[in-house]
């Protein structure tokens, strides 16, 4: 049985996840590909992660006519839906089989759509929180702090999927939390950003986003493992629910202003570029990630932090502090340690001999 893992288009994690087979547990074994191709995959993942965060930060602090973030999240869902339908069409092989699959698994399964509305709602909240966070925090600070999604996901995995973590993984979790604490102790300031910012609001938004990321990712994994339904069918169900949820969010949050100024108010080429990265990044990563391993993914996340920091210094005049540097280093090390080979988790354990509290206490 294949173990599926949450894959995001960016290390920043914005946008609903696309699940892909775990590089360490696929069967048959991973294809033997060249080191050059692996480096290509690593480079693309790193550039997407760093570029998305910096570009989104740019659109929220430099643009004169600020667009509605809720509409951007909604459009991202629509694009991902069309991309998933296209990939499912290629997977089924013909238009007739595609229509049959959609009728049976999507439109003919309202219960499954309702089930997927839970992560859709949580992901919608997470995506909007990313916009709030990057409106109030520098891209580099955001990139480091958002890695709190790792311990949050670890806890949700233990509590929801009855798994255990190694002592090294728990050590890396606490190290990561310590690194984030150092980064937030005296946040680095961007001297070229003129808009009013609230660092505490930004950090609060990240806190909500990482909680959403951990819960929704593990919930989606559990749903995916509960049946043999195609990955892309599940993604279509997720995005259909997501479109409805995000449209409601647009109406509730910015309804009056959207009616007055228009759905695409404030959109520029940079905004469309951000939407493109959020939409295509996750789909692309889910396809190529099987050729990499956890260690390479760790290096990718660490490199994205470094690139985001360099870009923030150049574009936003970020002033690097000692605490930020030390905290970022601890986060990069913890990501590497957390991705080291671990126990097989190809199946959700059903044993109830230990409660969740006992599993946490015995680590």
Longest dimension (CA), the chain: 61
> Which element (helix H / strand E) includes 91?
helix 69-92
| pLDDT confidence band for 30 (50 / 70 / 90) | very low
- pLDDT attached to residue 363: 46
- pLDDT attached to residue 50: 84
pLDDT, mean of residues 328-343: 75
Distance CA 222, CA 217 (A): 9
> Which element (helix H / strand E) includes 24?
none
Q: Does the pLDDT of residue 320 top 80, yes or no?
A: no
Ranges 188-197, 297-306, 307-316: which has the least confidence: 188-197
Determine the number of helices (DSSP H) and then strands (DSSP E) in the chain. 13, 2
Comparing 41 with 84, which gets the higher pLDDT? Answer: 84
Q: Does the pLDDT of residue 250 top 90, yes or no?
A: yes
Q: Which tokens hold the place of 171?
A: 């050590």
Could you report the per-residue pLDDT of 197-230, keeping only the tens digit for each? 788 899 999 999 999 988 988 888 788 777 777 8
Could you report the per-residue pLDDT of 252-279, keeping only the tens digit for each? 999 999 999 999 999 999 999 999 998 8
Q: Write the CB contacts of 362 (distance below 8 Å, at least 6 apart in sequence).
A: 354
- Based on the number of CB atoms within 10 Å of its own CB, is 238 exposed (0-12), middle (13-18) or buried (19 or more)? buried
Q: How far is CA 74 from CA 121, 135, 239, in A?
A: 12, 18, 10
- In contact, 139 and 188? CB cutoff 8 Å: no
Q: How far is CA 298 from CA 70, 292, 301, 330, in A?
A: 30, 10, 5, 13
Q: Does the pLDDT of residue 160 top 80, yes or no?
A: yes
- pLDDT attached to residue 354: 46
Name the DSSP letter for residue 111: H
pLDDT, mean of residues 36-51: 78
Comparing 47 with 8, which gets the higher pLDDT? Answer: 47
Angle at 105 between CA 100 and CA 110, to 5 degrees: 130
Q: Which tokens hold the place of 33?
A: 């590909």
Comparing 49 with 343, which gets the higher pLDDT? Answer: 49
Q: Does the pLDDT of residue 239 top 50, yes or no?
A: yes
Distance CA 353, CA 122 (A): 31
Nearest to 46 by CA among 272, 332, 268: 332
SS (H, E, C) 162-231: CCCCCHHHHHHHHHHHHHHHHHHHCCCCECCCCCCCCHHHHHHHHHHHHHHHHHHHHHHHHHHHCCCCCH
Nearest to 154 by CA among 334, 350, 12, 354: 334
Comparing 121 with 340, which gets the higher pLDDT? Answer: 121
Q: Does the pLDDT of residue 236 top 60, yes or no?
A: yes
Q: What is the rounded end-to-end Cα distance, in angstroms, of the chain?
A: 27
Could you report the per-residue pLDDT of 108-150, keeping only the tens digit for each? 878 888 888 898 899 889 889 989 998 888 888 888 888 888 7
pLDDT, mean of residues 180-195: 65
To the nearest 10°, report the CA torsion of 44, 47, 48, 52. -170
3-state secondary structure of 182: helix
Q: Does the pLDDT of residue 7 top 80, yes or no?
A: no
Comparing 230 with 248, which gets the higher pLDDT? Answer: 248
- pLDDT attached to residue 72: 94
Find residue 19's DSSP bridge partners: 6
- pLDDT attached to residue 10: 42
| pLDDT confidence band for 348 (50 / 70 / 90) | very low
Q: Does the pLDDT of residue 3 top 90, yes or no?
A: no
Q: Does the pLDDT of residue 285 top 50, yes or no?
A: yes
Distance CA 185, CA 177 (A): 12
- In contact, 2 and 344? CB cutoff 8 Å: no
- pLDDT attached to residue 356: 47
Distance CA 239, CA 276 (A): 16
pLDDT, mean of residues 336-341: 73
Distance CA 15, CA 2 (A): 24
Comparing 3 with 123, which gets the higher pLDDT? Answer: 123
- pLDDT attached to residue 186: 64
HSE-CB of 89 using CA atoms within 13 angstroms: 9
- pLDDT attached to residue 299: 62
- pLDDT attached to residue 346: 40
Q: What percent of the chain has pLDDT over 70?
A: 75
């Amino acid at each position: 049985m294949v173990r599926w893992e949450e894959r995001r288009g960016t290390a920043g994690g914005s946008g609903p996840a696309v699940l892909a087979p775990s590089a360490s547990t696929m069967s048959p074994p991973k294809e033997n590909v060249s080191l050059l191709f692996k480096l290509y995959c690593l480079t693309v993942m790193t550039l997407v992660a760093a570029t998305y965060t910096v570009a989104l930060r740019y659109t929220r602090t430099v643009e004169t006519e600020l667009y509605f973030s809720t509409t951007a999240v909604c459009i991202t869902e629509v694009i991902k839906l069309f991309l998933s339908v296209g990939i499912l069409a290629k997977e089924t092989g013909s238009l007739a089989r595609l229509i049959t699959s959609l009728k049976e698994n999507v439109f003919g399964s309202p219960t499954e759509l309702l089930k997927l509305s839970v992560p859709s709602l949580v992901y919608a909240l997470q995506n909007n929180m990313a916009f709030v966070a990057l409106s109030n925090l520098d891209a580099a600070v955001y990139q480091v702090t958002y890695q709190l999604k790792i311990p949050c996901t670890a806890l949700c995995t233990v509590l929801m999927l009855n798994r255990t973590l190694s002592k090294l993984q728990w050590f890396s979790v606490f190290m990561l939390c310590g690194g984030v604490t150092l980064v937030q102790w005296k946040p680095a300031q961007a001297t070229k950003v003129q808009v009013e910012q609230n660092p505490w609001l930004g950090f609060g938004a990240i806190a909500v986003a990482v909680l959403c990321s951990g819960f929704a990712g593990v919930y989606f994994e559990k749903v995916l493992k509960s049946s043999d339904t195609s990955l892309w069918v599940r993604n279509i169900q997720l995005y259909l629910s997501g479109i409805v949820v995000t449209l409601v969010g647009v109406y509730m949050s910015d309804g009056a202003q959207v009616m007055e100024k228009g759905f695409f108010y404030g959109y520029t080429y940079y905004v469309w570029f951000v939407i493109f990265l959020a939409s295509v990044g996750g789909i692309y990563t889910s396809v190529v990630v099987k050729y990499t391993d956890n260690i390479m993914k760790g290096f990718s996340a660490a490199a994205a932090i470094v690139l985001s920091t360099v870009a923030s210094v150049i574009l936003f005049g970020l002033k690097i502090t000692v605490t930020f540097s030390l905290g970022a280093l601890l986060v990069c090390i913890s990501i590497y340690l957390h991705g080291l080979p671990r126990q097989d988790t190809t199946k959700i354990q059903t044993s109830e001999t230990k409660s969740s509290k006992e599993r946490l206490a015995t680590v």
